[in-house]
Structure 1
Amino acid sequence: MHFVKIIALVTLAVLGTSCTTTGGVRQSAGAETVPNEKALAFPPPGGPAIVSVVERRHKDDVEQTISLSTSSSVIGQNFLKVQFLGVTGSNPGLGSTPYKMISEGAISREMAATIPSVRLARSTTFVQNSYGPFGYASGQSRAGDTCVYAWQQIQAGRSASVEQRNFSMVQVRLRLCNAHETERELLSTVYGYTIAGGFENAALNPYGAPRGADALLGRLGDPIYPDAGGYRSGATPIGYEPRPAVVVRPAIISRQTTVQPQAVTVAAPQPVGPRVPLPDPQGGVLQTNVPQTGVVTVPAQMPGQVQPRTTGTKGTTVPSPDCIGDAGVTAACR
Structure 2
Amino acid sequence: MVGVVERQYSNGVDQTVSLATASSVPGDNYLKVRFVGGGGPDGAPTLGFQRFTETGMSREMARAAPGVAMRRASTFLQNAYGPFSYASGRSRGGDTCIYAWQQIRSRSGGIGRDLGMIQVRARLCDTDASERELLNVMYGFTITGSFGGKIWNPYGLPSAVDTSIGAVGKPVYPDAPKTVAISYGHRTPAPVRVRVVSAPKPRATAAKADAAVITGPRVPLPGSAGAPSAASAGGEDAGGQTPPQATVTVPSPACMGANAKTPACN
- TM-score scaled by length of structure 2: 0.60
Deviates most, 206-215 or 148-157: 206-215
TM superposition shift of 1:160? 5.8
SS in 2 for 1:213: coil
Q: What does residue 47 of structure 2 align with?
A: 97
CA distance in 2, matches of 1:172, 1:222: 36
For the Cα contact (< 8 Å) 1:61–1:85, is it kept in 2? yes
2:131 aligned with 1:186: no
**Distance in 2 (alpha carbons) for counterparts of 1:86 and 1:228:** 38
Looking at structure 2, the residues matched to 123 and 157 of structure 1 have their Cα atoms a distance apart, in angstroms, of 24
Instruction: Please give the secondary structure, in 1, of the residue aligned with 2:49.
Output: coil
2:10 is matched with 59
Identify which of 134, 139, 146 aligns with 1:198. 146
| Percent identical | 49
Could you tell me how far 1:161 is from its partner in structure 2?
Answer: 3.6
- Tell me the residue number matched to 1:125: 75
The verdict on how the C-alpha distance between 1:215 and 1:103 changes in structure 2, with shifts beyond 3 A counting, is: closer
Cα distance between partner residues in 1 of 2:87 and 2:7? 27
How far is 1:117 from its partner?
Answer: 2.1
Write out aligned runs for 1:137-156 (5 A). 137-156=87-106
* Residue 127 of structure 1: how far off its partner (Å): 1.7
Count of equivalent residues: 177
Q: Quote the Cα distance in structure 1 between the aligned partners of 2:110 and 2:24.
A: 51
1:42-53 equivalences under 5 Å are 50-53=1-4
What CA distance in whole angstroms lies between the structure 2 residues aligned with 1:158 and 1:225? 33
Cα-to-partner distance string for 1:82-116 (whole Å, 9 max, x where unaligned): 000002223x3232111111111111111111111
Q: Which residue type is aligned with residue 105 of structure 1?
A: T
Which 5+ residue runs of structure 1 have no aligned equivalent? 1-49, 230-334
> Does structure 2 conserve the Cα–Cα contact (< 8 Å) formed by 1:156 and 1:204?
no
Structure 2 residue 31 is matched with structure 1 residue 77: no
1:172-251 → structure 2 map (5 Å cutoff): 172-215=120-163, 217=165, 224-227=172-175
Structure with greater Cα Rg: 1
1:193-213 Cα shifts (integer Å, max 9, x gaps) = 211112232232111222233
- Aligned AA for 2:6? E
Distance in 2, Cα, partners of 1:80 & 1:111: 14
1:219, distance to aligned residue in structure 2 (A):
6.8
What's the C-alpha RMSD, in Å, of the aligned pairs?
2.3
Task: Determine the C-alpha separation between the residues in 1 that align with 2:58 and 2:148.
Answer: 34
The verdict on how the C-alpha distance between 1:175 and 1:228 changes in structure 2, with shifts beyond 3 A counting, is: closer
